[in-house]
Amino acid sequence: MTKKIRLVTALLATGLFAQAHAADKFIIVQSTTSTQNSGLFDHLLPAFKAETGIEVRVVAVGTGQALKNAQNCDGDVVLVHAKAAEEKFVADGYGVKRIDVMYNDFVVVGPGNDPAGVAGSKDVVKSFKAIADKEALFASRGDDSGTHKKEQQLWKAANVDVKAASGKWYRETGSGMGATLNTGVGMGAYVLADRASWIAFGNKGNFKIAVEGDPTLFNQYGVIAVNPAKCPNVKTDLGNTFVNWLVSPKGQATIAAYKKNGDSLFFPNAPK
Binding residues (CB under 8 A) for other proteins: these are 1, 5-6, 8-9, 12-13, 15-17, 19-21, 28, 33, 36-37, 41-42, 57-60, 69, 71-74, 176-179, 181-182, 185, 200-204, 231, 233
In 3D, which of 119, 207, 25, 28 has the Cα closest to residue 127? 119
Tell me whether residue 21 or residue 272 sits nearer to other proteins (CB atom).
21
Give me the amino acid identity at 53. G
**Closest CB 24 distance from other proteins, rounded Å:** 12
Least distance in angstroms from the C-beta of 61 to other proteins? 8
Backbone angles phi, psi at 239, to 5 degrees: -60, -45
Q: 3-state DSSP call for residue 134? A: helix
Decide whether 178 or 268 has the Cβ nearer to other proteins: 178
Q: How far is the CB of 56 from other proteins (least distance, A)?
A: 9
Q: H helices then E strands: how many in the chain?
A: 12, 12
Q: Cβ(210)–Cβ(117) under 8 Å?
A: no
Q: How far is the CB of 250 from other proteins (least distance, A)?
A: 22
Q: What is the dihedral of CA 197, 199, 205, 206, to 10 degrees?
A: 120
- Return the H-helix or E-strand segment holding 172: strand 170-172
Q: Considering the complex, state which of residue 120 and residue 186 has its C-beta at the smaller distance from other proteins.
A: 186
Instruction: Write down how long the chain is.
Output: 272
CB contact at 8 A, 96 and 234:
no
Instruction: Report the nearest approach of other proteins to the CB of residue 212 (Å).
Output: 19
Pick between residue 10 and residue 91 the one whose CB is nearest to other proteins: 10
128 vs 258 by CB, closer to other proteins: 258
Beta bridge partner(s), residue 220: 103
